[in-house]
Amino acid sequence: MVIGFIIWSAVALVLVGIGIWSWNSKKAAGFYAGVNPPEVKDIKKYNHAVGTIWFIYAGLFELLGLPILLLKRNSAGFIGMTLGIVAISIGLAVAYNFVLEKNRKK
């Protein structure tokens, strides 16, 4: 299951890469696919907030992958991982909506 954890960690690194890109972007970072970035009051503050959300998501994603190293194949413990991913993904969207409402130009 070590190979599975390595793949899981690679995905977490991609998420960190998205966070770094968002953090360093000169224009407002987009979040949802196919949606233009919003007009915001302070681009740097907004991008740092979006980047932070991605960093937290990547960290939680990596933590949820730790059972891959500990559980046996076809274990019921993987249900917890799956539900955890759903929960943090919903949390990601909710957190972004808070950041958007706080930083949107009115």
pLDDT-derived band at 38, boundaries 50, 70, 90:
confident
Average of per-residue pLDDT across 31-60: 92
Q: To the nearest whole percent, how much of the chain has pLDDT over 70?
A: 100
Q: How many domains does one find in the chain?
A: 1
Residue 86 is predicted with a pLDDT of 97
Q: Of all helices (H) and strands (E), which one includes residue 81?
A: helix 77-103
pLDDT, the chain, mean: 91
